[in-house]
Amino acid sequence: MKRIRNFCIIAHIDHGKSTLADRFLLLTHTIGEREFREQFLDSMDLERERGITIKAHTVRMEYAGYIFNLIDTPGHVDFFYEVSRALAACEGAILLVDAKEGVQAQTLANYEMARKEGLKIIPAINKIDLPGADVEKVEREIRELLGIEDEEILKISAKTGVGVEELLQKVIERIPPPCGKEEAPLKALVFDSLYNSYRGVRLLVRVVEGTISVGENIRSMGTGKRYKVEEIGILSPNETKREILKAGEVGYLYANIRDIREVRVGDTLTTEKNGADSPLPGYVQYKSRVFLSFYPSSGEEVNRIREALEKLSLNDPSFTFRQEHTSLGTGFLCGFMGSLHAEVIRERLEREFDLDIVSTFPRVSYRIITNKGEIKEIQDPKDMPDPSQIMEIQEPWVRVVIFTPLSFMGNILKFLESKRGKYLKVEVWEESKCVIVFELPFSEMMTEFFDRIKSLSSGYATLEYEEPFYRRSDLVKVDIYLNKEKVEPLSFIVHRSEAYRKAKTVVERIKNLMPPHQFPIAVRAAIGGKIIARSDIKALRKDVTQHLYGGDVTRKKKLLEKQKRGKKKLKEIGKIRIPQKVFWGIFAGE
């Protein structure tokens, strides 16, 4: 056990985590030159294409008589729950910073997470071979922002291999070995899972204490379910069978688990006989924070979408979905960690399952406190209780940290204030960069927020946000009516100060998209019984006097009066047909 090192690589997006992991694989001869390809651990096409890691990956390497268990982690803001899994299974972390871009928002967030977990951190500056790399400046940033005073900061190039061997040597020297006891009752942390259609769920585990063997009976301390271990092994990087995994080791496990929800990520496994009394502490199960609905472009696709969503949810415990029936037809309300997470799931549905889907605009979960003191969480406006039953409405807020060149600070501050943001502080360093800290309603970040920040800073700003917290807010539900009929899928929850502007926009958009009927349609937006915006769609008018060629004018008036009475009657009994393109046009506009 003294010769085991469990560690991960944490960094901002595109600072070279996967490239460094690949260089480790080559250096330790875990894979040969012929098998090697860029971003070996990023097995999804989507991961290689976007240059980001979406799933956490694990690999065992042997070097200089030591065993390294490396977990490559995501670096994008939406995937920090994957980072937390990796941290829970490690004793140390390599903190990677780009020599050109310097410390970024996610660098700071990952450093704080690792520090709270008590991990030993090895700072390293990557991409020192790049033209324009300013190693000394980045080193000052690391010491100033992260408070790393005495530690030696390594300088490497994962691409060329410069300094990587020295970095591996520092992993041996600085990161402590695992400290569990082999003779103690089994405690194994589940930090990832993958569904295999032939063999069931494959669990990735870190054995913290005790040992686990093939044929042993185990149970989940979270759900109480019991299983028999069918196969265990290590990933180097492919599955290699073993008879036993001991304290400190990282490996995989098959136990004929057919439902991934039976053993959740973060759960503790122990033996059925002489098992542990309490599970491992400190692991957090993250909840979905962003919700949107997926609908098939044609009705026949519903079952295919359901099957695809079920398969995706098997490997992604933070992704949830449930079927719903609305005016748009049968669809699925899905929960995600953030907007990029939603985008990745949507792209996987289209690419891997060849589905043509349409999505509604994203929304967040609101907390309702009723007059009886009950607390309800709602994701859909139609689930909102009557205003007379509501004592308080709370919405999720987030603390946002934005790193930007100083010249863009003014425009970004104005934009954040327009989003109902609350100023906390601005810190300036190196005379050219600043850190802006704001609190924002999470709902204001749902549509084009990241794109606007990038646009206002010419692409230089980076941002990070923390786990949402709830705060009392003056929110109202706006209902949309077509004549007297409420159109529930178009209802929305908004801050009272924004209600009129947004209602006016939606009403005008409906007027422009809605095809005319044989009778006039009044498009109205209302809060409770109060109309706050209205627009009218004129009726289709047929020229009923076309066949008349002169004659008495009273004949023409009679026909026009008859048409008027008919349209009035139609308005009372006529059914308004809302084409799907109207909904999609409104959602796209949002």
Residues with Cβ within 8 Å of residue 566, at least 6 apart in sequence = none
Residue of higher predicted confidence among 496 and 52: 496
Contact 69, 249 (CB under 8 A): yes
Collapse the DSSP code of 531 into the 3-class scheme (helix H, G, I; strand E, B; otherwise coil) and give the result: strand
pLDDT over 80 (residue 392): yes
**What is the residue range of 195's domain?**
187-271
Listed in sequence order, the residues at least 6 apart from 292 whose beta carbon sits closer than 8 Å to its beta carbon are: 333, 334, 336, 342, 359, 360, 361, 362, 363
Residue 277 forms part of a structural domain: no
At 229, the amino acid letter reads: V
Distance CA 99, CA 127 (A): 6
Residues in contact with 358: Cβ distance below 8 Å, sequence separation at least 6, in sequence order: 294, 295, 296, 297, 580, 584, 587
Residue finishing a domain among 418, 447, 472: 472
- What mean pLDDT, rounded, does the chain reach? 83
Cβ-contact 587, 359 below 8 angstroms: yes
3-class SS letters over 403-450:
EEEHHHHHHHHHHHHHCCCEEEEEEEECCCEEEEEEEEEHHHHCCCHH
- Is 180 inside a domain boundary? no
| pLDDT for 32 beyond 80 | no
Confidence of residue 565 (pLDDT cuts 50, 70, 90): low
Number of domains into which the chain is organized: 5
Same domain, 21 and 146: yes
For 485-543, write each residue's pLDDT tens digit: 888 878 889 999 999 999 998 899 888 888 887 778 889 999 988 999 999 888 766 55
- CATH number of the domain at 319, please: 3.30.70.870
Nearest to 224 by CA among 287, 284, 268, 259: 268
Are 115 and 42 contained in the same domain? yes
Q: Is residue 43 pLDDT above 80, yes or no?
A: no
Residue with tokens 């042993």, as numbered in its chain? 216
Confidence band for 564, pLDDT divided at 50, 70 and 90 = low
Statement to judge: residues 219 and 103 lie in one domain: no
Q: Which of 140, 174, 208 is the last residue in one of the domains?
A: 174
The answer to whether residue 46 scores a pLDDT higher than 60 is no
Cα distances (Å, whole numbers) of residue 574 to 222, 485, 559? 56, 11, 21
Whether residue 235 is predicted with pLDDT greater than 50 in this model: the reply is: yes
Are 140 and 157 found together in one domain?
A: yes
Q: 13: closest CA among 113, 118, 60, 83?
A: 83
Q: How confident is the model over 342-348, as a mean pLDDT?
A: 85
One domain for residues 94 and 15: yes
Given a cut of 50, whether residue 48 has pLDDT beyond it is no
Residue 304 lies in a domain: yes
Domain identity same for 482 and 450: no
pLDDT of res. 54: 40
Count of Cβ atoms closer than 10 Å to residue 374 Cβ: 11
Residue 212: inside a domain, yes or no? yes
Residue type, 390: I
pLDDT at 238 over 90: no
Reduced to 3 DSSP states, what percent helix, strand and coil does the chain have, rounded to the nearest 5? 30, 35, 35
Residue 39 banded pLDDT, cuts 50, 70, 90: very low
* Amino acid making up residue 298: S
Residue 332 lies in a domain: yes
* Domain boundary pick from 342, 360, 378: 360
Least reliable range by pLDDT among 354-358, 386-390, 560-564: 560-564
Residue from 494, 500, 492, 506 nearest 380 by CA: 492
pLDDT in tens, 440-480: 999 988 877 888 998 999 888 888 888 889 999 999 999 99
Q: For residue range 92-118, what is the model confidence (pLDDT) as tens digits?
A: 999 999 999 888 877 887 888 888 888
| Contact predicate 571/519, CB 8 Å | yes
Cα 511 to Cα 503: distance, rounded to the nearest angstrom? 12
Mean pLDDT (whole number) for 165-187: 92
Does a structural domain hold residue 405? yes
- Tell me, yes or no, whether 28 and 166 share the same domain: yes
| Residue 212, domain CATH | 2.40.30.10
- What are the pLDDT digits (tens) for 271-296? 988 888 888 876 566 678 889 888 88
Instruction: Label residue 230 left, alpha or beta by phi (over 0 means left) and psi (-120 to 50 means alpha).
Output: alpha
Query: What Rg do the C-alpha atoms of the chain give, in angstroms?
Result: 29
Q: Which residues pair with 196 in a beta bridge?
A: 200
Let me know: does 341 contact 353? Beta carbons within 8 Å.
no
Say if residue 248 is in the same domain as residue 379: no
The helix/strand/coil state of 555 is helix
Per-residue pLDDT band at 37 (split at 50, 70, 90): low
Q: Is residue 182 part of a domain?
A: no
State the pLDDT at residue 456: 93
Written as one string, the DSSP assignment of 229-287 is --EEEEESSSEEEESEEETT-EEEEE-----GGGS-TT-EEEESSS--SSPPS----PP
Q: Do the domain assignments include residue 531?
A: yes
One domain, residues 239 and 260: yes
Residues 339 and 387 placed together within one structural domain of the fold: no
Q: Residues of the chain with pLDDT > 70: what percent?
A: 84
Tell me the three state secondary structure of residue 585: helix
Q: How far apart are CA 360 and CA 205, in angstroms?
A: 37
Vertex 575 angle, CA 571 and 578, to 5°:
115
Q: In the prediction, which pLDDT does 543 show?
A: 59
The CATH code of the domain that includes 409 is 3.30.70.240
CATH of the domain at 564: 3.30.70.2570
Asked if 19 and 139 sit in the same domain, the reply is yes
Q: What is the CATH number of the domain that holds 114?
A: 3.40.50.300
What does the pLDDT read at residue 347?
A: 86
Strands 530-537 and 521-527 come out as antiparallel
Query: What is the pTM (predicted TM-score) of this model?
Result: 0.73
Question: Residue 196's pLDDT is what?
Answer: 78
- Kindly state the helix (H) or strand (E) to which residue 587 belongs, with its residue range: helix 580-589
Instruction: Check whether residue 442 and residue 494 sit in a common domain.
Output: no
Strand, coil or helix: what is 52?
A: coil
Per-residue burial over 197-219, b if 16 or more Cβ lie within 10 Å, else e, is eeebbbbbbbbbbbbbebebebb
Please report, in angstroms and rounded to a whole number, the separation of the first and last CA atoms in the chain. 55
Q: What is the pLDDT of residue 442?
A: 92
pLDDT at 65: 92
